[in-house]
Amino acid sequence: MSSVTANVRQGALRGKVATTHTGKTYYSFQGIPYASPPVGPLRFKPPQPAEPWTGVRDATKEGNVAPQLSETTRQYMGDEDCLFLNVYTPQMPSESEGGVKPVMVWIHGGGYTVGSGNSDMYGPDYLLNHDVVVVTLNYRLGVLGFMSTGDSVVTGNMGLKDQVMALRWVKENISAFGGDADNITIFGESAGSRACHLHVLSPMAKGLFHRAICQSSVAFRGSLNTPVAERTFRLARHLGLKEGASSQELLDFMREVPARTLVEQMLHCRSEKDKILQESFPIRPTLEPAGAEDTLVSEDPADIIASGSFTPVPIVFGVTSQEGYLYGSVLGKQDAWRGLNANMELLVPGAAAKTPDERRTATQEVRRFYLGDRPLGDDTFVQFAQLRGDANFVYPALDVARMHASVPGAPPVYFYFFDVDTRLNLFKTMFGASKYKGAAHADDLPYLFRFGLLKPSGPNTVEGRVIARMTKLWTNYAKAGKPTPGGDDIIPVSWPAFSADQCKYLEITNDGLAVKENLFKERMDFWKTLHSRKADLKTSS
């Protein structure tokens, strides 16, 4: 294995020369520390800069992942010393006859509870074929990354602050890998997508990136109202904290609890309502107290967008055709269906109805619109999946895109709809929904990244053609800020910007690309009416 050296601010790194599945050479630097280990007194604190090292540091293997339960084995894995990133580049500066390359920084999803930037899921091969530098990263997850006391003792969102620290590191060091520090695109899916959107909205990451791609999840009205502090205290009491303890006492107590215990016991923070909803990612981003030090976000996302006080960068938003297959764990579970039928008001987002009367009315309307007079159950799973997918992903993404596009002078917004269905739709299978048509939440990922266990698709297969289109669109955008700059045989259409009065989007299917308008119009109008009625009530009260 040939090695290659790069010099960053902290010291020298030894990476390796690798090849993509198509034989293209690239340089891989893995397990680079971008912050100090968040352990001991730094647990639950904002990240601190990485310490320098002497000699040449080995960067040929991935670093520790954040503490979590494996999605496949449900066994504990990871280490608190987890703030590492990976850089994959098609050329080193010494070979830069083509100049510096655009940089794409990937933020992984997993409900802020599981996942990593590792190449078993996020292999860079397909993107590297388009001459960009790819960066993937780990950040703190679950209780260790997102617990909050609701005040300045632990403000929350440490995992998001880790990501900002990683972006600072990229900005300062990416030129050592042939990357352009003045052309950085952040992109992510699900929790990683919402994180990208929060970085657009937060002043903390301003100047650290130049475009964003948000795949399937956004920061929308009310999305940061999760009762994280309440859940944190509930978990701490379950672990032995005395009743009535202060925030400082909670912090001191939680610093002594082993990371493994925090991960394995996390679901004990849930309320009865959370259990009915089968909430498996309960500790996540939350509003921070205004005026606290190192604040990432202390205002509702919708208010930030409306005020125009976000980082003005172009943004791509998009969804898959069947986001709600994510909730396939209820299939075959009569008790779960019974709980949902009896508590259907829990499926109505707080942003659409707040008072008991509003919730009752909204629940009846939602039931009637999606189910008619049928109960929730295996035979109405598709309707249930549409309801949850529309409420949690599709309507918020379209609404947020509309809000961004309405800000005077804002950079362009683009929207896509991913409806590809092939053997690469791994997540649909993982969620137990493989017999249903369409693309589940996260089913777009294997068309952007090489999943280590999958045999690569040939260029003339349906899968290969979709990979070629998707990666070309994403990297075109990273290079020039326009996904379809024109003159391209793989991308025969021009993807127009999204506007509030013309909701045009790019549809991506097995057969190709098409520009369409007003996605799921009837369903989206239904949610718009519910949300605007709530807004009217708010203004008149």
Per DSSP, the residues of 28-49 read EEEEEE-B----GGGTTS---B
Task: Give the number of other CB atoms < 10 A from CB of residue 60.
Answer: 16
Place of tokens 């961004």: 404
Domain contains 375: no
pLDDT band at residue 443 using 50, 70 and 90 as cut-offs: very high
Give the pLDDT score at 537. Answer: 43
Residue 374 lies in a domain: no
Question: What do you get for the CA distance between the two ends of the chain, in Å?
Answer: 69
* C-beta of residue 319 within 8 angstroms of C-beta of residue 393: yes
* Distance, CA of 285 to CA of 209 (rounded, Å): 21
Q: In whole angstroms, what separates CA 528 from the centre of its chain?
A: 24
| Angular region, 448: left φ>0, alpha ψ -120 to 50, beta rest | alpha
Assigned domain for 22 exists: yes
The three-point CA angle 19-25-29 to 5° equals 75
State yes or no: is 358 an active-site residue.
no
94 vs 537 pLDDT, higher one? 94
CA 352 vs CA 190, 315, 388, 402: distances in Å: 21, 25, 13, 17
Among the listed residues 80, 189, 288, 323, the single catalytic one is 323
Q: Give the C-alpha separation, 456 to 129, whole Å.
A: 14
Is residue 125 assigned to a domain?
yes
Same domain (yes/no): 185, 287: yes
Is there a single domain that holds both residue 215 and residue 125? yes
DSSP secondary structure letter of residue 390: I
Residue 52 token pair = 């320098």
Structure tokens at 402: 């509309």
Instruction: Collapse the DSSP code of 181 into the 3-class scheme (helix H, G, I; strand E, B; otherwise coil) and give the result.
Output: strand
The whole-angstrom separation of Cα 200 and Cα 403 is 14
> What is the maximum alpha-carbon separation in the chain?
70
Round to whole Å and give the CA distance between 425 and 438: 9
Catalytic residue flag (residue 268)? no
Average pLDDT over residues 139-144: 98
Residue 55's SS3 state is coil
pLDDT of residue 286: 97
Residues in contact with 375: Cβ distance below 8 Å, sequence separation at least 6, in sequence order: 337, 341
Task: State whether 396 and 519 are in the same domain.
Answer: yes
**Alpha carbons 227 and 156: distance in angstroms, whole number:** 11
Q: Does 343 fall in a domain?
A: no
Residues 267 and 405 both lie in one domain: no
In the numeric block, the tokens 């030894």 are attached to 14
Angle, nearest 10°, between helix axes 395-406 and 521-540? 70
Find the mean pLDDT for residues 3-9.
97
Residue located via tokens 């379209």: 398
Least confident of 24-28, 109-113, 131-135, 290-294: 290-294
- pLDDT, residue 354, reads 77
CA–CA separation, 167 and 246 (whole Å): 34
- Amino acid letter for position 129: N
pLDDT of residue 96: 60
Indicate if 190 belongs to the active site: yes
Q: Considering only residues 351 and 79, tell me which one the structure prediction assigns the higher pLDDT.
A: 79
Q: Is the pLDDT of residue 540 over 50?
A: no
Query: What distances in angstroms separate CA 272 from CA 231, 232, 414, one per listed residue?
Result: 12, 15, 39
Tokens coding 85:
């990133």
Q: How many residues does the chain have?
A: 541
Averaged pLDDT, 428-445: 97
Beta bridge partners of 516: 505
Question: Of the residues 28, 441, 457, 463, which is catalytic?
Answer: 441
> Which residue range(s) make up the domain with 525?
318-330+381-533
Per the structure, how many domains does the chain have?
Answer: 2
DSSP designation for 529: H
Kindly indicate the confidence band of residue 489, based on its pLDDT and cuts at 50, 70 and 90.
Answer: confident
Kindly report, residue by residue over 317-327, the tens digit of the pLDDT.
Answer: 999 999 999 99
Q: At 6, which helix (H) or strand (E)?
A: strand 3-8
Instruction: Indicate if 190 and 250 belong to the same structural domain.
Output: yes
Whether residue 198 is predicted with pLDDT greater than 90 in this model: the reply is yes
Q: For position 124, which CATH number holds? A: 3.40.50.1820
Q: Are residues 84 and 163 in the same domain?
A: yes
* DSSP one-letter code for 322: B
At 315, is the secondary structure helix, strand, or coil? Answer: strand
Structure tokens at 14: 């030894």
Spot the catalytic one: 119, 190, 193, 321: 190
Distance, CA of 234 to CA of 207 (rounded, Å) = 38
For residues 442 and 110, give the distance between their C-alpha atoms in angstroms, rounded to a whole number: 10
Q: Where would I find the beta strands (DSSP E) of 34-177? A: 56-58, 68-69, 76-77, 84-89, 101-107, 133-137
Domain's final residue, options 256, 272, 306 = 306
Same domain flag for 223 and 253: yes
Residues 476 and 445 grouped into a single domain: yes
Domain for residue 205, yes or no? yes
Residues 422 and 461 occupy one common structural domain = yes
280 and 389 in a common domain:
no
Residue 174 DSSP class:
G
Overall average pLDDT of the 288-306 stretch:
94
User: Residue 539 pLDDT > 70, yes or no?
Assistant: no
Same domain, 248 and 389: no
Q: Provide the token pair at 219.
A: 């920061």
Secondary structure of residue 298 in the 3-state scheme: coil
Predicted TM-score (pTM) above 0.95 = yes
Check: CB of residue 158 under 8 Å from CB of residue 254: no
- Which amino acid is residue 327, in one-letter code? Y
Checking 477-486 for CB contacts under 8 A at 24+ apart, the result is 477/185, 477/211, 477/213, 477/314, 477/316, 477/414, 478/102, 478/103, 478/104, 478/132, 478/183, 478/185, 478/211, 479/102, 479/132, 479/183, 481/210, 481/211, 481/314, 481/411, 481/412, 482/412, 483/316, 483/414
If DSSP codes are grouped into helix, strand and coil, which group holds residue 469? helix
Of the listed ranges 359-373, 459-473, 475-489, the one predicted with least confidence: 475-489
pLDDT at 534: 57
- Whether residue 168 lies inside any domain: the answer is yes
Whole-angstrom Cα distance, residue 357 to residue 103? 50
- H or E stretch including 413? strand 413-419
484 and 510 in a single domain? The answer is yes
Looking at the DSSP bridge assignments, the partners of residue 505 are 516
Give a yes or no: residue 81 inside a domain.
Answer: yes
Percentages (nearest 5) of helix, strand, coil residues in the chain: 40, 20, 45
